[in-house]
Structures are given as C-alpha cells and as structure tokens.
Structure 1
C-alpha cells in the first residue's frame, strides 16, 4: 500500500515536496510541482532543490530496507549529482531511489529525477548509513 508523506519536516513544508513509500519496487518517490519559487535566476528548477529531492528519495529508500514506513533515519555519507536537463515551472518532477549495493553498515543507492514527460532531469548516487541515535537524540 502506497503512503504519501506530507509536511513531516521543515524542509518538506518549505519546499512543498511530498514523499511516497510502499511501491512494489521498494523505491521511495519524492515529488514536487515546480513553481517560480523553486526557480533559479535562469527560470529553471534550482539545482540545490533537485539535489534535495534526489537525496530524499535515496534516504527514504535506504530506510525502507529496515522499516516499511520509511522513517528510520539514514544519514547521507556522500552524494554525487549529475544535472542533465532543465525542469520548468508548471511541471511535476519525481525522484525515485533504488538500492544498488551495500552491507551491514553502509548502503549504496542511485536515484533519477524525471519530469512528467519522462524527461531525465538529473541523476545521483550516494552512500547512506543508518543513524544510531543516542539517548540525547544526537546521531
């Protein structure tokens, strides 16, 4: 069953993206309806927002490996992003994560960001580590 997560974090509320978990392929989706408030000075989706979406899709996908709700915290150890095409206001973009490897302590993930016309906007790879929170709440 697919669950849509809205307004769970400050960043999510500020940017307006939603997260979906529960897809049969095990990959989380991070979706955003691009508006002018997401644009850079060239009137296309800001690269930092595209990277944020890719990071969220990969992090939630990592979480799904241990938690079907996708809420167990994973930390981004490293991430590499490739920007391939612009995304424009008025279009919905979706980042989808997938696990590509890993072991007990680290997971390797990849993600793609596409627009509603299935045009590839950006890709990313990353290394993620499950957060072990101490009693004080620190990672």
Structure 2
C-alpha cells in the first residue's frame, strides 16, 4: 500500500507516481512536468493529461476491491475536458467513484496544477478484470 513507482513501462517513461495510500480510498497520480511532457505551446500535452487521469481513476476503481490499488480494471470509456493550460510544475490527478456495481464502475477525475488551477476533468467507465495470474 502507499506509493507506486516505476511499476509499468508507461510509468517509467513518463515519470509519474501513483499514491493509493489515502484514507479516502481515492488514488492520486502526480507528475513533475518538464520539457518532455510539454507540447509545442510549452503546456502539458493533452495525451499525457489523459494518461494521468486514466491512471488515477483506474487505481481509484481498483481501491474499491483491493487495498493495494493494483487489481486490474479496464478502461471502457474515458472522456476528458480540457479547461486550462498545464504549466510546468507539479500536477496531480485524483479519482472519485460516482456509481456502478460489482464489476463496472463510473469514476470522475480532476487534474490540478500545484497552484490549484483545474486543468482538466474526466469521466470514465471501468470494468474489473481478472488478475493476470487468474487468466
């Protein structure tokens, strides 16, 4: 439980950290932005913003069945709304379960800059998957 680092190739490539240790059962995905994460306008690339939201939201879904936040959930749908540019500094995405049942969950997410600016919001549908060892 707690902080997950360097667990997947994507995580190692981008450098984000996943925190699944909060008492509120909401995962947080943080990234210190540098020039590798910026687009031609020197703001956070939208695809990376979506990746951070997807990770925070999927891990939040996982926390509904697994205290480690590692039980696999598959993203069935993800809609991202971009509200403000992501400037260099730290950004953090956080997920919140809004509904669903035993195998499919509806999750919302927010991505904020360290200064509090809301960069993007997302809604998603996530389905519980079998762990790799059970396949």
TM-score after normalising by structure 1: 0.93
Q: 1:134 to 1:92 in 2, by over 3 A?
A: closer
Which structure 1 residue ranges, 4+ long, deviate > 4 Å from structure 2? 133-137
Counterpart-to-counterpart distance in 2, 1:129 and 1:119: 30
1:105 Cα deviation after fit? 2.2
Are the counterparts in 1 of residues 2 and 21 from structure 2 also a CA contact under 8 Å?
yes
Are the counterparts in 1 of residues 71 and 131 from structure 2 also a CA contact under 8 Å?
no
Q: 1:31 to 1:129 in 2, by over 3 A?
A: same
How many residue pairs get aligned? The number is 135
Match of 1:119 in 2: 117
Q: Which runs of 5+ in 1 are unaligned?
A: none
Counterpart-to-counterpart distance in 1, 2:69 and 2:105: 15
Match of 1:67 in 2: 66
Counterpart-to-counterpart distance in 2, 1:136 and 1:72: 12
Q: Which runs of 5+ in 2 are unaligned?
A: none
